[in-house]
Amino acid sequence: MNNNTVFEFDSGNPGPSILIFGGIHGNEHCGVKAIKMFMKNLNSGRFTLLNGKVTFAFGNIPALEQNVRFIDKDMNRIFVDDNFDEFKGSSEYERVSFLKTLFEGKDAFLDLHSAKSPCLDFLISEEESLILASELSASFIVTGWKNFSEVAGDTENYALSKGLKALTYEAGQHDDMISVENSYSMILKFLSAHGIINYTFVKREAKVLNLKTLYLKTHKSDSIAPKIENFTFVKKDELLIDGDRQVRAPFDCYLVFPCDPNGIKIGETICFLAELI
Ligand SMILES: [Zn+2]
C-alpha cells in the first residue's frame, strides 16, 4: 500500500528532518503534482539536498484515484491519538495509522492543500510556527484555528502535538495550474528555509490574520452580504449576514472560508472572521 506513495531522501549530512504531505484530500491534486515535479528535479540533479532529510507522502490514495475529498472519513479530521479506534473500519483508518508513524523523529511538517473556489494562496499557522510561516512569502497567513473545535484532528495540529513546527498551505483553487506552481514553489521555500536546498526567492511580507469568530447558518434565509470570496475585507458595522436576521461586522475584518449559505445546512459554518494583526 505504501509503494510509490512515500519517498525518502537523505542528503547524508546532518540537518533537519522534514515531512511533506500532498493529497490528504483526494480532490486536491496540486500537492501530489508538485511533489512529483520536485522529485523529478531532484532525481535529474536540478536540485541537490545539502543537509538533512526530506520525506514526501501522498495522503488519501483511493480518494485521489476517484478525485473525491474522502471515501468514508475526512482524513484531515482524524489525525488524533485519543479515540482513534472509533474510525476503525473506515477506508481512511489504515492509511492514517501508517501516516501518523511518519511524524516520528521529524522537525518540521508541511501539508499541501487547495480550495474549492478561487482564492489567493495562504498559510495556516499556529503561534509556534508563525516565525517559520513569515519567512515563506505567502500572500496571507491565517492563525488561531486552534480555538475552533470544528477543525480539530488535522495533520498540522497532530504534528504540533508531536513537537514539530507545522504549516498547512492552501495553494489556490483545486484545478488551477497556479495551485500546482504555488505548491511547488512552497516546497522549495520550505526546504530552503530549513537549509535543505539552495533556493533564493523574493521575500514578501504576508498579511497575518487572526481568526476571532465564526458564524453558523441559523436561518434558512441567511445570506452573506459582502462578496463571497476569501479575504474579502468588511468594515466594522457593515452588513455581514442578511435575511430574516441581520448581522453586522463586529470589527474591521476579513472573511475566511466564506461559503454561500444556500449550499449548506442549518448549523454549518457560513464563514470565519479574522482580524489583521
Ligand atoms: Zn484540503
- Tell me the pLDDT tens digit for each residue of 56-103: 999 999 999 999 999 999 999 999 999 999 999 999 999 999 999 999
Instruction: Indicate the pLDDT class of residue 196, thresholds 50, 70 and 90.
Output: very high
CA distance 254 to 244: 23
235 C-alpha to center of ligand 1: Å? 29
Mean pLDDT throughout 231-245? 96
Residue 201 in domain? no
Whether residues 236 and 138 fall in one domain: no
83 C-alpha to center of ligand 1: Å? 23
171 C-alpha to center of ligand 1: Å? 10
Whether residues 51 and 127 fall in one domain: yes
Whether residues 224 and 178 fall in one domain: no
By CB neighbour count within 10 A (0-12 exposed, 13-18 middle, 19+ buried), where does 23 fall?
A: buried
Mean pLDDT throughout 170-199? 96
232 C-alpha to center of ligand 1: Å? 20
Residue 199 in domain? no
pLDDT at 150: 62
25 C-alpha to center of ligand 1: Å? 5
Whether residues 186 and 260 fall in one domain: no
175 C-alpha to center of ligand 1: Å? 13
**Range among 49-58, 113-122, 200-209, 221-230 rated most confident:** 49-58
Inform me whether the pLDDT recorded for 3 exceeds 70: no
238 C-alpha to center of ligand 1: Å? 30
CA distance 76 to 58: 13
Which CATH number is 82's domain given?
Answer: 3.40.630.10
Residue 268 in domain? yes
Instruction: Indicate the pLDDT class of residue 148, thresholds 50, 70 and 90.
Output: confident
Residue 60 in domain? yes
Whether residues 82 and 144 fall in one domain: yes
CA distance 97 to 2: 12
pLDDT higher at 176 or 3? 176
- Distance in angstroms between the alpha carbons of the first and the last residue of the chain: 44
Whether residues 157 and 263 fall in one domain: no
244 C-alpha to center of ligand 1: Å? 33
258 C-alpha to center of ligand 1: Å? 15
236 C-alpha to center of ligand 1: Å? 30
pLDDT at 147: 78
Last residue of a domain, one of 166, 193, 220: 193
Whether residues 20 and 155 fall in one domain: yes
pLDDT at 87: 96
State how many domains the chain has.
2
Residue 200 in domain? no
Inform me whether the pLDDT recorded for 28 exceeds 50: yes
Whether residues 61 and 120 fall in one domain: yes
Instruction: Indicate the pLDDT class of residue 44, thresholds 50, 70 and 90.
Output: very high
pLDDT higher at 236 or 120? 236
Share of the chain above pLDDT 70, in %: 98
Residue 204 in domain? no
Which CATH number is 230's domain given?
Answer: 2.40.50.100
* CA dihedral sign, ordered 178, 182, 184, 188: positive
CB of 28 within 8 A of CB of 174?
Answer: yes
Domain that holds residue 270: 209-276
114 C-alpha to center of ligand 1: Å? 6
Whether residues 121 and 234 fall in one domain: no
Residue 198 in domain? no
pLDDT at 1: 43
105 C-alpha to center of ligand 1: Å? 25
User: Would strands 140-143 and 122-124 be described as parallel, antiparallel, or unpaired?
Assistant: parallel
Residue 138 in domain? yes
Last residue of a domain, one of 193, 227, 251: 193
270 C-alpha to center of ligand 1: Å? 18
Whether residues 245 and 151 fall in one domain: no
pLDDT at 154: 93
208 C-alpha to center of ligand 1: Å? 20
The pLDDT mean for the chain works out to: 94
The three grid cell numbers given for residue 254, joined into one nine-digit string: 476579513
Last residue of a domain, one of 144, 169, 193: 193
Whether residues 157 and 214 fall in one domain: no
170 C-alpha to center of ligand 1: Å? 7
242 C-alpha to center of ligand 1: Å? 29
Say which range, 45-59, 92-106, 118-132, 186-200, has the weakest mean pLDDT: 118-132
Whether residues 167 and 269 fall in one domain: no
96 C-alpha to center of ligand 1: Å? 15
Instruction: Indicate the pLDDT class of residue 120, thresholds 50, 70 and 90.
Output: confident
